[in-house]
Amino acid sequence: MRRFEVRTTQRNQFVEITDKVRAAILESGIRDGFCIVYSPHTTAGITINENADPDVVHDMLLWLNREIPQKQSGFRHGEENSDSHIKASLIGSSANIVIDQGDLVLGRWQGVYFCEFDGPRSRQVMVKVVGTQE
């Protein structure tokens, strides 16, 4: 299993980590298999989405922040980051990506994102690579 750090600079932010995941695959020597990209945090997630136009990420965060505001009537959690926990479970704590011929099999417009929902912080990403070195 490989790990790398992501430093976020905003409370809600998508940081593209495709190159770091790719580097972890190359380092593993696995040519055929898949990997699990995993966030060990409860206020962050991992998703795969468009990496061509940054406006896509802008609009995704706009919707998430509008529909899941930080302060809401009835919220009890004292840390005032219940919105972050909700976003984390909706996005999910991991993503699976297939590995073929030693590289990630991503669609043409797909990138891998670490999704920060309670930054800025220093975060860890884990990459578990499973397969054969054939």
- Give CA–CA dist 89/128, Å, rounded: 20
**What is the chain's Cα-based Rg?**
16
Could you tell me the two tokens for 92?
């999910």
Q: Please tell me whether residue 36 binds its own copies under the rule CB under 8 A.
A: yes
Q: In what order do the strands lie in the sheet with 94-100?
A: 2-7, 122-132, 32-38, 94-100, 103-104
- Give CA–CA dist 59/42, Å, rounded: 23
What does 55-72 look like in DSSP terms, one character per residue?
HHHHHHHHHHHHHS-S--
Q: Please tell me whether residue 105 binds its own copies under the rule CB under 8 A.
A: yes
**Footprint of its own copies on residues 6-35 (CB under 8 A)?**
33-34
Please count the residues of this chain forming the interface with its own copies, following the rule CB under 8 A. 57
Taking CB under 8 A as the criterion, the residue among 71, 74, 122, 134 binding its own copies is 74
Q: Please tell me whether residue 68 binds its own copies under the rule CB under 8 A.
A: yes
* Interface segment toward its own copies; rule CB under 8 A; list 5-13, 16-24, 102-110: 102-110
Q: Please tell me whether residue 126 binds its own copies under the rule CB under 8 A.
A: yes
- Give CA–CA dist 94/82, Å, rounded: 20
The footprint of its own copies (CB under 8 A) covers 1, 33-34, 36, 38-42, 47-50, 53, 55-56, 58-60, 62-64, 67-68, 72, 74-79, 82, 85-86, 88-98, 100, 105-110, 124, 126, 128, 130-131
